[in-house]
Chains A and B, each alone.
Chain A
Amino acid sequence: MIDQQTDPQRAYASPDVVRQIGEITRKLHDSVAQLGLMGDLQAATQALPDARSRLNYIARKTSEAANKVLNSVDEAKLEHQTISATTLRMVDELTSNGNLSPTSGEKLRSLVAHVQGSTDRIDEHLTNIMIAQDFHDLTGQIVNKVVKLADDLEGNLVQLLLQVAPEYESTPVAPKPEDLHGPVVNPEARTDVVSDQNEVDDLLARMGF
């Protein structure tokens, strides 16, 4: 048999604790009702999915941007390698056939060394650009944590609403006009927006433009 003093769950759920929680809940209910906060509480609860959706939009867009940059860096590094190898081959071709005087050959090698120095520095810049894309990982981790926080908060607020207003139903609160501005973060969930330029063109075409 488990003794109440040795079982933490039973100890915390003592009648006194339950009574105190009931009192706090009743006070909270009365306060929310007296202060007329039901509407605000409901609006806050319903605003959280939108906030979460916007954060996911940021995560998606930063990921796409970082990958575009990495793709371009990969391409540029390949081009750099080609330029570097071709330049060296060109010097070998020109100097090995005896087409150039020793002085001209030396001058050409000096110019090519200059070009090689520049392309090496360009490669270093490309590497720095590549490493700088770690912003996606770093900001993404923060965004994920905030999304998780919003999830938990939403769950708690819904529980609170059910406690203080058992008749609570998730009736949508009309968004404020300013909330509708800016990029559309979840076009697939809306019928009042377009998701890409093709849809804009289709719409305009249907209107005769």
Chain B
Amino acid sequence: MPACPDLRFLVVDDFSTMRRIVRGLLKEMGCQHIEEAEDGVTALQSLRSTRIDFVVSDINMPNMDGFELLAQIKQDPALCHIPVLMVTAEARKEDIVRAAQTGAAGYIVKPFTKATLEEKITKIAQKMPVTA
């Protein structure tokens, strides 16, 4: 069952291939509104100019990495309600702990499956307040 037909997603990754993969999977899950950004800087610009409900972000990126992006989102009163799901090749425990402590809603290690992405997004979306 699609968990997110009305949610507006922002997929942040410096590799266009990975952005396309995540976009494709979100579309298969029934998600209609998907924006993309190639680093934390452009992601913040999108977040401050467009309505975004859910961020799926890589960690290792130029200009501004995923940790900094996460911190900036969580420190901004206008954005801090937006859940951020980290999707990254960083499998170190300290990175997972750091992401959780900074306010990430979830953490997926690449390579991942469609089922994993769907499960995490559904779980996070179910906790989101229902908006009119």
In the complex, which residues of chain A have a beta carbon less than 8 angstroms from the beta carbon of B16?
A: 63, 67
Interface size on A, residues (CB 8 A): 17
State the CA gap A131–B114 with chains docked (Å).
Answer: 8
In the complex, whether A38 has a CB less than 8 A from a CB of chain B is no
In the complex, whether A79 has a CB less than 8 A from a CB of chain B is no
CB pair A137–B24 under 8 Å, yes or no, is: no
Nearest Cβ on chain A to B111's Cβ, whole angstroms? 5
In the complex, which residues of chain B have a beta carbon less than 8 angstroms from the beta carbon of A52?
A: none
CB pair A131–B17 under 8 Å, yes or no, is: no
Which residue on chain B has the smallest CB distance to residue A140? B15
CB pair B113–A133 under 8 Å, yes or no, is: no
State the CA gap A135–B113 with chains docked (Å).
Answer: 13
- The DSSP consensus for interface residues of chain A is helix
Interface size on B, residues (CB 8 A): 17
B100-114: contact bitstring with A at CB < 8 Å (1 yes, 0 no)?
000000000011111
In the complex, which residues of chain A have a beta carbon less than 8 angstroms from the beta carbon of B112?
A: 131, 134
CB pair A134–B24 under 8 Å, yes or no, is: no
Nearest Cβ on chain A to B32's Cβ, whole angstroms? 16
CB pair A136–B15 under 8 Å, yes or no, is: yes
Chain B residues with CB under 8 Å of chain A are: 13, 15-18, 20-21, 24-25, 28, 60, 89, 110-114
- What would be 18 A-B contacts, judged by CB atoms less than 8 Å apart? A67-B20, A70-B17, A70-B20, A74-B24, A127-B114, A131-B21, A131-B111, A131-B112, A131-B113, A133-B20, A133-B21, A134-B18, A134-B110, A134-B111, A136-B15, A137-B110, A138-B110, A140-B15
